[in-house]
Structure 1
Amino acid sequence: MQRKDTMDTFGVISLTGFALLLAINQVTIKVTNEGIQPIFLAGLRSLGGAVCILAWMRFRGLSTHVAPGTARAGLLIGLLFTFEFVFLFLALDLTTVTRSSVIFYTMPVWLTLGAHLLLPGERMSVSKAVGLGLAVAGMAWAILNRGGPEGEASLLGDLFALAASICWAAIALCARASALKAVRPEMQLLWQLVISTPILLLAAPFFGPLLREPSLIHWAGLGFQIVVVVSAGFLFWLWLLSLYPAASVASFSFLSPIFGVLLGWALLGEHVGPEILVALGLVCAGLVLINRPVRYPPIPANDPRPGPPRPPA
């Protein structure tokens, strides 16, 4: 398909479906953790995902050779990916999907802040600063307000979700600021999966028994994460990113915490009180402002002065 300048019906449906898939994945991890130890589960997922992505690249005839000058960045992005999923899988073992979704999907906040500090030309606008403040306030409200049934969620689990969100943003910054920015997305994903697999599998025994009496549903959950989420889902999202403007794709990120809260309540019976709804509202409002495209004033045809830099068409 030809690259598009605006979002169409197919894009809206696809990105809404992807946001729903991410929320379903949080529920899947929560349920699968009951049968498979979280770090071992994360390692098996990376292993299966690496095999699938490698097979896909071979099928498409894409090179798997390490591009000159990318090895250090590839190792770094793989380590960040490892820590992200250590924190996320432990978070979903300790806290609820509703709380984890509100906190974890604040990733654009940390990406915006990191880009403002580290990347040239990524200065924060007033609307982004307001959005950042709202999202941080919502996240803080979710962490500090411990409403709901006692024992349903732990503070440590909430903090792990926050750490996972920051690692996710660091991965995006590394991909944009290093030599990896010239590498195909499939190769970036392969770096993350290949580096994380041995680390997670070797670390897993230190977190307790590898299996927790798994049944068919737990193995099915693992297979769903490998095939549908890590392989097909991530590649589909990367394809959408190549088809539509990045700002339009990013603007749908506010749907993931909404779907996460709804599915945690509907499928797992988790408590959704005023404290979660207030936090969710603040985070979503913040994400909308952060992802708003910058609109530049028109420049008169006879104005000799150079205008502000425009994003590439």
Structure 2
Amino acid sequence: MSTAALPARRPLDGFATILMIVLCAIWGFQQVAIKSTNVVLPPLFQAGLRSAIATLLVCGWARTRGTPLFRDDGTLGAGLLAGVLFAAEFICIFVGLSLTSASRMAVFLYTAPCFTALGLHWFVRGEKMWRTQWTGIGVAFAGMALAFADGFAHHAPGGTADSTHSMLAGVAGDALGVLAGIAWAATTVVVRATKLAHTSASKTLFYQLAVSAVVLLALAVGLGQARFEAIVSITPLTLASLAYQAVIVAFVSYLLWFWLLTRYMASRLSVFSFLTPLFGVTFGVLLLGESFSSRFLAAAAMVLAGIALVNAPARRRAS
């Protein structure tokens, strides 16, 4: 991947920090919305509908702003790759949420910043990590490891075949959360390390949503999840959840995210998103009645300490 002539990104300021906190809250609630809707709409079908609706919204937004989406600017290959990775991320999230809790999915998914920082360090000029930032990555990763241990404790078998099956399903769901995080990180690296870094946020998002809509809906049809009875049985709550996912998350929040990526250092933004698991667990406990432990509080404290270190100003060496 080419790393030449990328525009300089600046460290986070107060505006970017506040906006990232809002985005993290939006993304944290997403896991609750998906899990509550999985019981009505099959996972892949739900994910495909979400991407399809958001694709139409992005097309409308781009048209009103005069942003060309179909002009040949050399981004097609990278855009298709980003779209496939985006689809893989949400396959893992939506299927994983049928196996594990929203709280645990939020925690495991947000291993992404660790993988993102590593990928950007190697592939994108200007995204090198200083010693303090690497220390922050280590502290935050240790916090995630503690959160993993807490999550696996919830899947401990009770000695019966049913409990063992439940444990294996839960572990599979947790693993899908980690795979989703890796796919998200890979998408971010592709966006920053290719010609997508020079295109508009609308076009970058269009690639991901359009490709994922095709992939997810095709898989839903192939696996028999695109059922007519699922559509006619949609409740007002399910419709509200789908609207939240498509409009607020996939359209508004992602446009803001890609806008931030064009102006601020992606490694700092990604690591800051460790806040999302905290929101995810909180929403899971309050709205879905999921379990909460003191071990997670310790993990959360480590994660927050890591965020603070990663976003600390780097000290220049004396010349």
Specify which of 142, 147, 152 is matched with residue 147 of structure 2: 142
Residues 1:237 and 1:114: Cα distance change in structure 2 (over 3 Å): closer
Cα separation, 1, equivalents of 2:100 and 2:174: 6
TM-score, scaled to structure 1? 0.83
Cα separation, 2, equivalents of 1:110 and 1:247: 10
Per the alignment, in what secondary structure is the counterpart of residue 153 of structure 2?
coil
Query: Which one-letter code corresponds to 2:180 in the other structure?
Result: A
Say how many residue pairs are matched: 296
Cα separation, 1, equivalents of 2:123 and 2:257: 25
Q: Does 1:199 align with 2:215?
A: yes
Q: Does 1:106 align with 2:122?
A: no
Post-superposition CA distance 1:224-244 (Å, at most 9, x none) = 111111112222344455677
Specify which of 38, 61, 79 is matched with residue 56 of structure 1: 61
Per the alignment, in what secondary structure is the counterpart of residue 154 of structure 2?
coil
* Aligned 1:120-159 pairs, distance under 5 A: 120-145=125-150, 146-148=152-154, 151=166, 154-159=170-175
Cα separation, 2, equivalents of 1:133 and 1:86: 28
Q: Does 1:231 align with 2:255?
A: no
* Aligned 1:1-313 pairs, distance under 5 A: 7-8=13-14, 13-145=18-150, 146-148=152-154, 151=166, 154-207=170-223, 209-210=225-226, 213-239=233-259, 252-296=272-316
Per the alignment, in what secondary structure is the counterpart of residue 296 of structure 1?
coil
Query: Which one-letter code corresponds to 1:21 in the other structure?
Result: I
Residues 1:169 and 1:5: Cα distance change in structure 2 (over 3 Å): closer
Shift of 1:290: 3.0
Q: Which moved more, 1:95-104 or 1:141-150?
A: 141-150
TM-score, scaled to structure 2? 0.82
Identical pairs, percent: 36
Query: Which residues of structure 1 form unaligned runs of 5+?
Result: 300-306, 308-313
Cα separation, 2, equivalents of 1:154 and 1:110: 23
Residues 1:206 and 1:155: Cα distance change in structure 2 (over 3 Å): farther
Shift of 1:43: 0.6
Query: Which residues of structure 2 form unaligned runs of 5+?
Result: 1-9, 157-165
